[in-house]
Amino acid sequence: MVTNKKQEQSLRVICHNKKARHNYHIVETMEAGIVLLGSEVKSCRRGSVNLNDSHALIENGEIFLVDAHISPYAHANRFNHQPRRKRKLLLHKHQIKKLYGKIKERGQTFIPLRMYFNEAGKVKVEMAIAQGKKLFDKRADIQKRDLLREEQRRLQRHS
């Protein structure tokens, strides 16, 4: 997770998963590398990525990002990629074992929050261990947000 403001400003965000914070309680976040093809990186530079409805699966000690949509690059012709293929995430073995334990025993899931280029120009994915929200939790969040918005409007009118 990026904690330093200066580091966060040097990141170039490709895509946010806007539904993630609405549908899930975020327990823990971490940064992971991702294995991409050349045409996928070029599509990322154009911002043609969608992380909605994507999640991670652990198979044979490796972790994969599933259902992330990276649009085909127009100039790649026959060397283009499949838009929704499984993409390998790069994490240390001890991190994968820790994730596997948390996901299996607590009923949590591993979802992407955002994809970005770091200072070195590498594509990184901010992943989160998350617990699904119930419908009443979502309604309560919306109600809190509306109350804060109304309060800010009142303060702006009086000042």
Residue 127 lies in a domain: yes
CB atoms within 10 A of CB 48: 18
Instruction: Give the domain extent around 86.
Output: 5-133
Rounded Cα distance between 47 and 27, Å, is: 27
Q: What is the mean pLDDT of residues 127-145?
A: 86
| Residue 148 maps to a domain | no
Domain count, the chain: 1
Taking only the tens place, the pLDDT of each residue in 66-124 is 999 988 888 877 778 888 889 999 999 999 998 888 888 777 888 999 999 998 889 99
Contact 94, 10 (CB under 8 A): no
Write down the residue that tokens 């990141």 correspond to. 11
Mean pLDDT of the chain: 86
Domain CATH code at residue 67 = 2.40.280.10
Is residue 110, in this structure, part of any structural domain at all? yes
Look up residue 108 and give its two tokens.
């949590």
Q: What is the pLDDT of residues 42-54, one digit of tens each?
A: 888 888 899 998 9
- What's the whole-model pTM score? 0.77
